Structure 1
Amino acid sequence: MAEIKTKATPESVDAFIEAVSDPVRRADAKAVAALMAQVSGETPAMWGATIIGFGSYHYRYDSGHEGEMCRLGFSPRKTELVLYVLNGSPEQDAQLARLGKHKTGKACLYIKKLADVDLAVLEELMRDQLTSMDARYPR
């Protein structure tokens, strides 16, 4: 079985954020990190080379594949922020309708800049994701 590339590392979250070249994206990354820390009650850690994660859980699929991943996380990419906060719940569909300008993937929320979204709704999405994680992967 292949080794999992995305795992917690000892790298500095602060150094990673400071290296973000775009000043708006860097400021947004600091704000998202602070919000996720507040919502989760967890200290941020680097997961792989580009994901800032909060907390962790152990998963195991029916196939036997298993590993550890962060409960909540994000990555300040070159063109947008990628937030790992989606779980496909109907509640989140309603929240996304109120969020503001964004795109979605299967479990990812893509935001160009925080000024485009309602931060209270973003916090709701984060809290909903943690509630979902707690139900599926109790601590």
Structure 2
Amino acid sequence: MAELKTQENDANVKKFIHEFANSEQKITDSLILLDLMEKVTGFEPKMWGPSIIGFGKYHYKSERSKQEGDWPLVGFSPRKTAISLYIYSGGANQDDLLNKLGKFKMGKGCIYVKKLSDIDPEILKKMVLSTMDFLQKKYGKLG
């Protein structure tokens, strides 16, 4: 089985933000997200692969294949066109929270926001907690 490309590593998170984010707004928003997610999750930010900032981790086993591995509980990436938020699990009440989140676009596994001021930070916090709760129930111990 092939090894996952996106793995936790020791790259400097703040250095990544300053080098990767393509605007002052994205840098500012990313630093705010860094603080918010660390406080809500209780986990220090870690780089996952070359461009995802993750908080905590869980071990998953695919129900459809033999693939398994570690993945961040929640995270984000300051991509070129938008900030990708990895906070959606499809768990209980998450669709209700999405309706209150604010202005965003939905991808297959993430939520895209142009700027942090487009969304409600309190709803964002609830989404993070909801995802953590869902993953703990599904996969057990979180790390």
Sort the TM-score into its range (normalised by shorter chain): over 0.9
Is this contact kept in 2: 1:88–1:107, CA < 8 A?
no
CA contact (8 A) 1:86 1:106 kept: no
Deviates most, 81-90 or 65-74: 81-90
Partner of 1:14 in structure 2?
A: 14
Residue equivalent to 2:54: 53
State the one-letter code of the partner of 2:13: V
Secondary structure in structure 1 of the residue aligned to 2:98: helix
Q: What is the total number of aligned residue pairs between the two structures?
A: 139
Matches of 2:128 and 2:96, distance apart in 1: 14
Query: What's 1:120 paired with?
Result: 122
Aligned amino acid, residue 82 of structure 1? S
* Distance in 2, Cα, partners of 1:89 & 1:68: 19
Instruction: Give 3-state SS (helix, strand or coil) of 1:67's partner.
Output: strand
Give the whole-Å Cα distance in 2 for the aligned partners of 1:87 and 1:59. 13
Asked whether the equivalents of residues 92 and 130 of structure 2 are also in contact (C-alpha less than 8 Å), the reply is no
Superposed CA RMSD in Å reads: 1.1
Alignment match, 1:88: 90
Tell me the amino acid that sits aligned with residue 43 of structure 1.
E
Relative to the length of structure 2, the TM-score reads 0.92
Q: CA deviation at 1:136?
A: 1.0
Residue matched to 1:28: 29
Q: Is the 8 A contact 2:85 2:111 kept in 1?
A: yes
- Alignment pair present for 1:136 and 2:138: yes
* Contact kept? 1:59, 1:66, Cα under 8 Å: yes
Partners of 2:49 and 2:5 in 1: CA distance = 6
Q: Which runs of 5+ in 1 are unaligned?
A: none
TM score, norm. by length of structure 1? 0.95
Percent same amino acid at aligned positions? 40
Alpha-carbon contact 1:9-1:47 (below 8 Å) kept: yes
Secondary structure of the residue aligned to 2:93 is: helix
Give 1:90 shift. Answer: 4.8
**How many Å separate the matches in 2 of 1:58 and 1:89?**
17
Unaligned runs of 5+ in 2: none
